[in-house]
Amino acid sequence: MDHDAVRAELEGRRDNARARVATLAKRPERGASQGFGKRIGDGTVEAISRFNDIGVGTTVEAGLERTERALAKLDEGTYGLCDSCGKPIAEKRLRAMPDVVLCIECAAKR
Ligand SMILES: [Zn+2]
Protein backbone atom coordinates (compact mmCIF):
# COMPACT_ATOMS: atom_id res chain seq x y z
CA MET A 1 0.00 0.00 0.00
CA ASP A 2 1.17 3.54 -0.79
CA HIS A 3 0.72 5.24 2.58
CA ASP A 4 1.35 8.74 1.24
CA ALA A 5 -1.52 8.33 -1.22
CA VAL A 6 -3.72 6.87 1.52
CA ARG A 7 -2.88 9.79 3.81
CA ALA A 8 -3.73 12.33 1.10
CA GLU A 9 -7.03 10.55 0.47
CA LEU A 10 -7.89 10.40 4.18
CA GLU A 11 -6.94 14.04 4.77
CA GLY A 12 -9.19 15.06 1.90
CA ARG A 13 -12.05 13.06 3.39
CA ARG A 14 -11.41 14.50 6.85
CA ASP A 15 -11.42 18.09 5.57
CA ASN A 16 -14.66 17.50 3.65
CA ALA A 17 -16.31 15.91 6.69
CA ARG A 18 -15.14 18.76 8.95
CA ALA A 19 -16.58 21.33 6.56
CA ARG A 20 -19.87 19.40 6.48
CA VAL A 21 -20.04 19.18 10.26
CA ALA A 22 -19.31 22.90 10.58
CA THR A 23 -22.03 23.73 8.04
CA LEU A 24 -24.59 21.55 9.80
CA ALA A 25 -23.66 22.95 13.22
CA LYS A 26 -24.31 26.57 12.27
CA ARG A 27 -27.37 26.19 10.09
CA PRO A 28 -29.44 29.33 9.60
CA GLU A 29 -33.10 29.05 10.64
CA ARG A 30 -34.80 29.68 7.31
CA GLY A 31 -33.97 29.06 3.67
CA ALA A 32 -31.16 26.82 4.76
CA SER A 33 -31.64 24.28 2.03
CA GLN A 34 -29.25 25.97 -0.39
CA GLY A 35 -26.05 24.05 -0.69
CA PHE A 36 -27.88 20.79 -0.08
CA GLY A 37 -29.06 20.46 -3.64
CA LYS A 38 -32.68 21.36 -4.29
CA ARG A 39 -34.16 24.62 -3.12
CA ILE A 40 -37.17 23.86 -0.94
CA GLY A 41 -39.74 26.60 -0.44
CA ASP A 42 -42.50 24.77 1.40
CA GLY A 43 -42.27 24.87 5.21
CA THR A 44 -43.41 21.29 5.75
CA VAL A 45 -40.96 19.88 3.26
CA GLU A 46 -38.26 22.03 4.83
CA ALA A 47 -39.06 20.59 8.27
CA ILE A 48 -38.67 17.08 6.89
CA SER A 49 -35.48 18.13 5.17
CA ARG A 50 -34.10 19.49 8.47
CA PHE A 51 -35.04 16.25 10.21
CA ASN A 52 -33.15 14.30 7.58
CA ASP A 53 -30.15 16.57 7.97
CA ILE A 54 -29.83 15.56 11.62
CA GLY A 55 -29.31 12.01 10.44
CA VAL A 56 -26.80 13.21 7.89
CA GLY A 57 -24.93 15.09 10.63
CA THR A 58 -24.63 11.98 12.76
CA THR A 59 -23.34 9.97 9.84
CA VAL A 60 -20.84 12.67 8.85
CA GLU A 61 -19.54 12.87 12.44
CA ALA A 62 -19.17 9.11 12.69
CA GLY A 63 -17.32 9.11 9.38
CA LEU A 64 -15.08 11.95 10.56
CA GLU A 65 -14.16 10.03 13.71
CA ARG A 66 -13.30 6.95 11.71
CA THR A 67 -11.22 8.94 9.23
CA GLU A 68 -9.31 10.61 12.08
CA ARG A 69 -8.69 7.21 13.67
CA ALA A 70 -7.32 5.87 10.38
CA LEU A 71 -4.99 8.90 10.10
CA ALA A 72 -3.83 8.32 13.70
CA LYS A 73 -3.06 4.72 12.77
CA LEU A 74 -0.90 5.95 9.88
CA ASP A 75 1.06 8.03 12.42
CA GLU A 76 1.30 5.10 14.85
CA GLY A 77 2.44 2.75 12.11
CA THR A 78 -0.53 0.44 12.72
CA TYR A 79 -2.39 1.38 9.55
CA GLY A 80 -3.77 -1.75 7.91
CA LEU A 81 -3.90 -3.63 11.21
CA CYS A 82 -7.21 -4.32 12.92
CA ASP A 83 -7.91 -2.07 15.93
CA SER A 84 -9.60 -4.93 17.73
CA CYS A 85 -7.55 -8.10 17.09
CA GLY A 86 -4.35 -6.63 15.60
CA LYS A 87 -4.38 -8.87 12.55
CA PRO A 88 -3.77 -7.38 9.10
CA ILE A 89 -6.86 -6.07 7.33
CA ALA A 90 -7.30 -7.51 3.83
CA GLU A 91 -5.79 -5.15 1.26
CA LYS A 92 -8.90 -5.43 -0.90
CA ARG A 93 -10.96 -4.16 2.03
CA LEU A 94 -8.54 -1.26 2.65
CA ARG A 95 -8.61 -0.27 -0.99
CA ALA A 96 -12.40 -0.21 -0.99
CA MET A 97 -12.57 1.70 2.33
CA PRO A 98 -9.28 3.47 3.12
CA ASP A 99 -10.59 4.64 6.51
CA VAL A 100 -11.51 1.16 7.75
CA VAL A 101 -9.90 0.30 11.13
CA LEU A 102 -11.36 -3.17 11.76
CA CYS A 103 -10.85 -6.45 9.93
CA ILE A 104 -13.91 -8.03 8.36
CA GLU A 105 -14.32 -10.57 11.20
CA CYS A 106 -14.26 -7.92 13.94
CA ALA A 107 -16.50 -5.55 11.97
CA ALA A 108 -19.05 -8.37 11.59
CA LYS A 109 -19.09 -8.91 15.37
CA ARG A 110 -20.13 -5.30 16.09
ZN1 LIG B 1 -9.94 -7.90 13.81
Where along the chain do its domains lie?
A: 3-79
Distance 24 CA to ligand 1 centre (A): 33
Nearest CA to 58 out of 99, 25, 83, 98 is that of: 25
- Please state, in angstroms and as integers, the Cα–Cα distance from residue 81 to each residue in 2, 70, 88, following that order: 15, 10, 4
pLDDT for res 48? 54
Say what the pLDDT of residue 109 is. Answer: 92
pLDDT tens, N- to C-terminus, the chain (110 residues): 789 999 999 999 999 999 988 888 886 665 545 455 555 555 666 655 555 566 767 788 889 999 999 999 999 999 999 999 999 999 999 999 999 999 999 999 98
C-alpha 63 to ligand 1 mean position (Å): 19
83 C-alpha vs ligand 1 centroid, how far in Å?
A: 7
The reported pLDDT for the residue numbered 103 is: 96
Q: How many whole angstroms from 49 Cα to the centroid of ligand 1? A: 37
